[in-house]
Structure 1
Amino acid sequence: MAVVTENGLTDGTSRTVVQNLKTLYMGLLRPIELESSFGHFNDAVLTVSELEARPQVLLIGQYSTGKTSLIKWVTGINSAFFDIRPQPSTDKFMAVVHGDEEKVINGDAATCLPKLPYSGLSRFGSSFLSKFQVLVEDADILKQITFIDTPGVLSGDKQRISRGYDFMKVCRWLASRSDLILLLFDAHKLDISDEFKEVIESIKGDGDKCRCVLNKADEIDGENLVKVYGALMWNLGKILQTPEVARMYVGSFWDDDYKCKDLERLLNQDRKDLVQELRDLPRNVCVRRVNEVVARARAVKVHMALGCSLRAKLPAFGACGRRQQKQRYLAEHLPEVYAEVMKEYEFAPGDMPPLENFKERLRSFKDFRSFQRSCKTQQETLDRLIQQEIPRLMALVGGVSASDLGNKAPNGGGKTDAQDFRLEGATRAAERSWLCGFFVLLLLLVVAVGVAAFLRPEAALEVLKSLETHPWLAPMRPWLAKIHEVWPQAPGELNVTPIHLATDSAAATEL
């Protein structure tokens, strides 16, 4: 595996990319998120600990599908905190992280630790935090990957209501911040409960990170395994509503020997494939972080356009409740707003947020006047982030060769040194500061010449002549020459009467 530093990032280029990405997010994207109320309609703003966190693997499944057993098998940890039984045993969300000694950190304390990316979980309340723990273990793989174990998904409404927190929203929050999502199924229990179905539907937006695991497959023979595999793929296709289904790993992920030896070769191969995918997570962490920020920037861009469109449709005067009435009308006729925004900004249907989710959040939004009147400046900033800053950042990663028809980079293969990235930004900042200083100096010069021309025109003329030959003002020589051309050449040609002459003339008149 790749070498990992204390905060979970691989040494060298990956750490440089993530640090620069953090600067771009905090400086460009995050202010627009806060300004546009993006957090009310989507996930809250990202934190520094989330951007610098180790890759996370989230395990979701119904009870007794082998989630905890898989974590124990991968990490090789024999801990008393891993309660493995035939009946439902895991009743808490448990993050398994690396540390020097074994200990458990409760939820309230875990959200306050700056090294852990779980401060955002405090939004789900104390009832959830009492069901969240962080298990610290000293295992080599935990230096690079963090595992999150979840309670078994229930099937009855009574158990769902008694949780005390929204299980689906918690899973959605964890899924959006995970690098790999494993959906576990038991080969003997293929029924998918309503709650599990809702959880799968809620993480559709992270479908590229989802993998399916058909566990306990060694307990059935080959003929029945084919039937089980086909039935599971059919059920998942109906839930995901897509012809492409996620990668399916078939096996038995524990240390015991296989009960059915017929499929030992197949099960061992899928074991190796799953382990290899886990090993690849730290190598690609910087690319995934960039992908997350770009996807978030596109979502903010669409959100800004929707907010500006809704704000423009409000009446100028909100007397007699007209504004509230118009807000309710727009919330109910949101598809028309979607169509208008897609046509005006040329957005694809897949770029738009889920209609029902956005409508639900819009109903609880107090005042549409909180949206911006115009989003042109913010749109330009986001376009610059996506089209200029991110490509320059991705050039640090390299790995893609340049076309023979195009201009090759000086380093070859599209590679850019990290120091060049920082120096270019510093050069642009220096250019901006030089221009600001130049215009300030020009303004002071104009004011000084104007005052001198009013008080003593002869002295001002001499100053202009001396300034034309000054080496520091070489860029201003054309302008000084023009001023000198139109300046009177003799004191008698001046149209401005000096102050001391005007004072003497007035005194003589009075006498």
Structure 2
Amino acid sequence: MVALQKFKNLKAVFQYYLSSPITHENVEKQLKLMYKTKLKPLEEHYQFHDFHSTRLDDADFDAKPMILLMGQYSTGKTTFIRYLLGNDFPGLRIGPEPTTDKFTVVMNRDERQRDIIPGNALVMDPKLPFKPLSRFGNTFLNRFQGSCLDSPVLRNISIVDTPGVLSGEKQRVDRGYDFAGVTEWFAERVDRIILLFDAHKLDISDEFRRSLEALRGHDDKIRIILNKADMVNHQELMRVYGGLMWSLGKVFNSPEMSQVYIGSFWDRPLRYDINRRLFEDEKNDLFRDLLSLPKNAAMRKVNDLYKRARLAKVHAYIIAALQTNYPRFFGKESKKVELIKNLGAIYEKIQREHQDLPPGDFPELKRMQEILIHKDFSKFQNLNPKMLEAVDKMLSDDIAKLMAVIPAGDEANTEEDKMKGGAFDSVADNSTPFGHGRGEGADAGSGESEWIISREKEKYDKIFNSLGPVDGKVSGSAAKSEMLKSKLPNSALTKIWLLSDIDKDGMLDSDEFALAMHLIGIKLDGHDIPEELPSHLVPPSKRDICDPAFLEPETNFK
């Protein structure tokens, strides 16, 4: 009686939300109530969570968009995250050998959070969507952690770094947990899956193949990066690209592949500069795709719930069919073996009787058979028309209403949804000719009375004068042609330009140009470009305008 009253109260709240004005914020609240009142009862009645996916909690609906990075060791996954953020993150380790041995969720820091959060603490936090991962055991939780830092990029998304996938059967056994199972769990919940490949090693190991197979059904989320592409010349790059597509075609067994982005996602000088324009175009296309994640988060959650409901509905028909044909008293074990063996015929019968259930909605036959071997068929339930009717109504009416009100395009792109910071600033920034902090290098000269750049000013002035200055300044295009000789990627040159163009007029005078050349030298020496220009690097002629209240950069310079 108490359970019935609780259900009625929940249904009343659900009706309240449907009748109230729908906003971008309460779309998620309505999704929660749809799931709890209509889909979750069906899932529990037919043991859906034991076969397919764990139950959803409020945190799953409230979570920020997530990006999952996968690849074999030393393909640049961790470096890619650092490139996106523009900063190191706690626990970062980069090297040519396998260095990442954990699933690491890189997320924005809460006031109460530490730099590193152990896996057991992550799955216990009710505000985070990781509680179901506890079923993979302590061996996995010891290889799971959160990395927290205050980053403008992470205010809208979280990024999941994964262990580098190794080759050979021994590596899979030594992990001590179901690597492919964990991968599949994340694949169901993330908004993007980025597969990284090294241009120098395109082989796909046994474990990586199993992991890729676990991604089937999530093809719309997958993006592929051919990384470190500047390490091969133009002709070799064409061959490498063809080899990658051939290898992926064998794994995914599909005539059509996901979008492949070619580039080198780090801020080091390009070894082969001939493909610079291609790399920048590819990077911009990828980043625009990632920039769309926050504004499309609500749509993605609706889409995932819709797919889940269709699978749950088919699952209910399968379980009910097995229960109907299962004997009550004698010959249970032999009948169970027969039903599992003939599961394909049961699929076909259900499709004939219910033609609104397309074959693509049915779970993979072999996997379903493997799970059924360990199940007690006597606990399966008969078909419940009322539950199925509730799910049908949710699919045909309730979700359709939500789809009609979810903002699309520019309407969804509010200030809160816009990703800023890190490498994303260089995508939409047209205030530099490249648009389309720390370290010894930036600190050199600190505390000295002399402007350190003046020691090389004569050399820089000769280059400056060769660019044909007008009224003591060179245009953005002229400065760009010289700065490109460094072979640094445009993201690094954009940061250098923003620091050097102190008066924000889209041109450089001799002092600003010398500063730009000095910052390029810092980067080429292996140091980081400072986030803000240190006071000792400010040209003496510009110190009167370097004030916190100085004008914002103009955005009309092309």
Specify the TM-score bucket, using the shorter chain as the normaliser.
0.7 to 0.9
Matches within 5 A, 1:433-448: none
Q: Out of 82, 87, 91, which is 1:81 matched to?
A: 91
Query: In 1, Cα distance between the equivalents of 2:375 and 2:242?
Result: 44
Query: In 2, Cα distance between the equivalents of 1:113 and 1:205?
Result: 29
Query: In 1, Cα distance between the equivalents of 2:61 and 2:226?
Result: 31
What does residue 24 of structure 2 align with?
Answer: 14
Matches within 5 A, 1:38-57: 38-57=48-67
Q: Work out whether 1:136 is the aligned partner of 2:145.
A: no
Can you list the C-alpha shifts for 1:33-78, whole angstroms capped at 9, x where unaligned? 1111001110111111011100000000000000000000001122
Q: Out of 216, 239, 242, which is 2:254 matched to?
A: 242
The offset of 1:370, in angstroms, is 2.2
Query: In 1, Cα distance between the equivalents of 2:61 and 2:334?
Result: 41
Give the aligned residue type for 2:119. G
Matches within 5 A, 1:84-123: 84-100=94-110, 103-123=115-135
Q: Out of 405, 414, 418, which is 1:396 matched to?
A: 405
Q: Work out whether 1:337 is the aligned partner of 2:349.
A: no
Q: Work out whether 1:200 is the aligned partner of 2:212.
A: yes
What does residue 361 of structure 1 align with?
Answer: 371
SS, match of residue 273 in structure 2: coil
What does residue 71 of structure 2 align with?
Answer: 61
Query: In 1, Cα distance between the equivalents of 2:349 and 2:89?
Result: 57
Give the aligned residue type for 1:240. F
Can you list the C-alpha shifts for 1:164-221, whole angstroms capped at 9, x where unaligned? 1011111011111110000110000011101111111111111110011000000111
Contact 1:311 1:371 in 2 (8 A): yes
Query: In 2, Cα distance between the equivalents of 1:173 and 1:262?
Result: 41
Q: Out of 322, 332, 337, which is 1:323 matched to?
A: 332
What does residue 153 of structure 1 align with?
Answer: 165
Q: Which runs of 5+ in 2 are unaligned?
A: 1-21, 412-558
TM-score normalised per structure 1: 0.74
What does residue 82 of structure 2 align with?
Answer: 72
Query: In 1, Cα distance between the equivalents of 2:43 and 2:228?
Result: 45
Alignment: residue pair count:
386
Contact 1:14 1:285 in 2 (8 A): no
The offset of 1:231, in angstroms, is 0.9
What does residue 296 of structure 2 align with?
Answer: 284
The offset of 1:80, in angstroms, is 5.2
Contact 1:93 1:149 in 2 (8 A): yes
Query: In 2, Cα distance between the equivalents of 1:343 and 1:224?
Result: 52
Contact 1:183 1:211 in 2 (8 A): yes
The offset of 1:377, in angstroms, is 1.7
The offset of 1:99, in angstroms, is 0.8
Matches within 5 A, 1:458-473: none
Query: In 1, Cα distance between the equivalents of 2:261 and 2:161?
Result: 18
What does residue 324 of structure 2 align with?
Answer: 312
Query: In 1, Cα distance between the equivalents of 2:311 and 2:90?
Result: 43
Contact 2:89 2:147 in 1 (8 A): no
**Which is worse superposed, 77-86 or 377-386?**
77-86
Q: Work out whether 1:374 is the aligned partner of 2:383.
A: yes
Contact 1:105 1:133 in 2 (8 A): yes
What does residue 455 of structure 1 align with?
Answer: none
Can you list the C-alpha shifts for 1:383-429, whole angstroms capped at 9, x where unaligned? 111011111122222559xxxxxxxxxxxx9xxxxxxxxxxxxxxxx
The offset of 1:153, in angstroms, is 0.5
> What is the RMSD of the two structures over their aligned residues, measured on CA atoms?
1.5
Q: Work out whether 1:303 is the aligned partner of 2:315.
A: yes
Can you list the C-alpha shifts for 1:83-118, whole angstroms capped at 9, x where unaligned? 011111101110001015661000001101112111
Give the aligned residue type for 1:318. F
Q: Which runs of 5+ in 1 are unaligned?
A: 1-11, 401-412, 414-511
Contact 1:305 1:375 in 2 (8 A): no
Q: Work out whether 1:224 is the aligned partner of 2:233.
A: no
Query: In 2, Cα distance between the equivalents of 1:23 and 1:378?
Result: 15
Query: In 2, Cα distance between the equivalents of 1:67 and 1:158?
Result: 23
What does residue 7 of structure 2 align with?
Answer: none
Q: Out of 159, 166, 174, which is 2:178 matched to?
A: 166
Q: Percent identity?
A: 41
What does residue 275 of structure 1 align with?
Answer: 287
Query: In 2, Cα distance between the equivalents of 1:79 and 1:119?
Result: 23
> Between Structure 1 and Structure 2, whose CA radius of gyration is higher?
1
The offset of 1:13, in angstroms, is 3.3
Query: In 1, Cα distance between the equivalents of 2:408 and 2:116?
Result: 41
Is the alpha carbon distance of 1:398 and 1:271 closer, same or farther for their aligned partners in structure 2, counting shifts above 3 Å?
closer
Query: In 2, Cα distance between the equivalents of 1:221 and 1:79?
Result: 32
Is the alpha carbon distance of 1:87 and 1:378 closer, same or farther for their aligned partners in structure 2, counting shifts above 3 Å?
same
Contact 2:101 2:163 in 1 (8 A): yes
The offset of 1:297, in angstroms, is 0.5
The offset of 1:140, in angstroms, is 0.5
Give the aligned residue type for 2:201. K
The offset of 1:160, in angstroms, is 1.4
Give the aligned residue type for 2:32. K
Matches within 5 A, 1:488-507: none
The offset of 1:278, in angstroms, is 1.2
Q: Work out whether 1:213 is the aligned partner of 2:225.
A: yes
SS, match of residue 116 in structure 2: strand
Query: In 2, Cα distance between the equivalents of 1:15 and 1:251?
Result: 37
Query: In 2, Cα distance between the equivalents of 1:378 and 1:395?
Result: 25
Query: In 1, Cα distance between the equivalents of 2:175 and 2:400?
Result: 45
Can you list the C-alpha shifts for 1:243-269, whole angstroms capped at 9, x where unaligned? 110000100001112111000000011
Give the aligned residue type for 1:171. T
The offset of 1:275, in angstroms, is 1.3
What does residue 276 of structure 2 align with?
Answer: 264
The offset of 1:222, in angstroms, is 0.7
The offset of 1:381, in angstroms, is 1.1
TM-score normalised per structure 2: 0.68
Give the aligned residue type for 2:134. S
Query: In 2, Cα distance between the equivalents of 1:180 and 1:344?
Result: 36
